[in-house]
Amino acid sequence: MASLIACPHCGPRPKEEFTVRGDAGITRPAPDAGEDAWYAYVYLRDNPRGRHKEHWHHTSGCRRWLVVERDTMTHAIYTVTDASAEGETA
């Protein structure tokens, strides 16, 4: 896994300072979307090979939620942005 994350607020920091939440691409279903949609939202995840966007929390730094776009195969990091700046919610 990538070892340095360039936090937009704190600069480059080791991955040990962060907590990974998981896929940043999924959207919360409507409250009445039905059991299947909610089951998929809560439990089912893709396991992509290659570029992947995830939510990372800078737990031991600025305590902000970030969106990290990284490659699950090469461990390269492409972009790191504050989750609120992207308007990401989940």
- At 36, which helix (H) or strand (E)? helix 35-43
Q: Restricting to residues 12-31, which ones interact with other proteins according to CB under 8 A?
A: 12-14, 16-17
Structure tokens given for 72: 């699950």
Choice between 53 and 57, CB closer to other proteins = 57
Buried/exposed 19-50: b ≥16 CB within 10 Å, e otherwise: eeeeebeeeeeeeeeeeeeeeeeeeeeeeeee
What DSSP element (H or E) covers 17?
Answer: none
Of 49 and 63, CB closest to other proteins: 63
Looking at residue 59, the DSSP 8-state letter turns out to be T
User: Rule CB under 8 A: is residue 1 a binding residue for other proteins?
Assistant: no
Of positions 2, 26, 62, 77, contacts other proteins by CB under 8 A: 62
Question: Does the footprint of other proteins cover residue 11 (CB under 8 A)?
Answer: yes
CB of 62 to other proteins, least distance (A): 3
Where along the sequence are the contacts to other proteins (CB under 8 A)?
4, 9-14, 16-17, 58, 60-64, 82
